[in-house]
Structure 1
């Protein structure tokens, strides 16, 4: 990493934010697991339980979309460090220039929701819910 104070401070700040978003994503996944098992234990209606998991899945995708914005700038800073170039901190300005419209944002949210590391627990939870209701039906 380039030891230019400006680049290093920006990189460090963004890396910390990136890591916090990763923790937030894991918290959303844990909440989905907990709510799924509480829903199964309390015999929550199938549609309601599936909706809760789907909402948390999409929320996780939105969260990961926000995180990906930090990643773009982190990679730019790291690339600059290879050439010892410096830049003005421009995270918000650059993001605003590239910000997609409503449909672009929805597309980004859905694309991030379908990444394997995001969708993994939700697919399993949906399968557990489905199997529980199939085999637990009275």
Structure 2
């Protein structure tokens, strides 16, 4: 691996890592906003169905967001492998989108990726808990 190839991979690694951390911070803000909105709509006395729909929207939004973050994570692992190996392989630096487009699975694959992201415990929390609370409040009011 030439020095310029290694520098390109190192620059890509730093950029990816910074983006992954930014995604993490933003995902936490989405969760915080969902909790605040959940509390506000409960105080306002909105119907439980509307509350559940809002929670599901936030959950889906974070799942879509996290799917992008996971793609960055997959690429950074490949970059780390190249840097560690120190040799030229079929993976060059700055190929994030080219690699993703080459492995794209169509609409159904994309929707399955989103669903997979939504079901990860780190994404599902706090939305699943908020839905359970909303359901409990609904049942108590009935």
Q: Normalising to structure 2: TM-score of the pair? A: 0.89
The answer on whether the counterparts of 2:20 and 2:73 sit within 8 Å (CA) in structure 1 is yes
Q: In the aligned structure 1, how far is the partner of 2:115 from the partner of 2:52?
A: 17
For residue 44 of structure 1, give the secondary structure of its aligned residue in structure 2. coil
Q: Is the partner of 2:126 in helix, strand or coil?
A: helix
Once the two structures are superposed, the pairs formed by residues 73-92 of structure 1 within 5 Å of their partners are 73-85=75-87, 87-92=92-97
Of 115, 119, 128 in structure 2, the residue corresponding to residue 123 of structure 1 is 128
Give deviations 1:48-93, integer Å, cap 9, x for gaps: 1100001110111111101111011100011111111353321111
Give 1:34 shift.
0.6
How far apart in 2 are the matches of 1:79 and 1:127?
42
Match of 1:47, SS state, is helix
Aligned to 2:49: 47
Note if contact 2:38-2:55 (Cα within 8 Å) is conserved in structure 1.
yes
Equivalent residue of 2:51, what SS?
A: helix
Q: Which runs of 5+ in 2 are unaligned?
A: none
Q: 1:113 aligns with which of 98, 118, 140?
A: 118
Give the alignment partner of residue 19 of structure 1, picking from 18, 21, 24: 21
Runs of at least 5 residues in structure 1 that lack an aligned partner in the other structure = none
1:67 alignment partner in structure 2: 69
Equivalent residues, number: 135
User: Where has structure 1 moved over 6 Å in runs of 4 or more?
Assistant: none
Check the 8 A contact 2:12/2:93 in 1, yes or no: no
Q: How far apart in 2 are the matches of 1:88 and 1:72?
A: 14
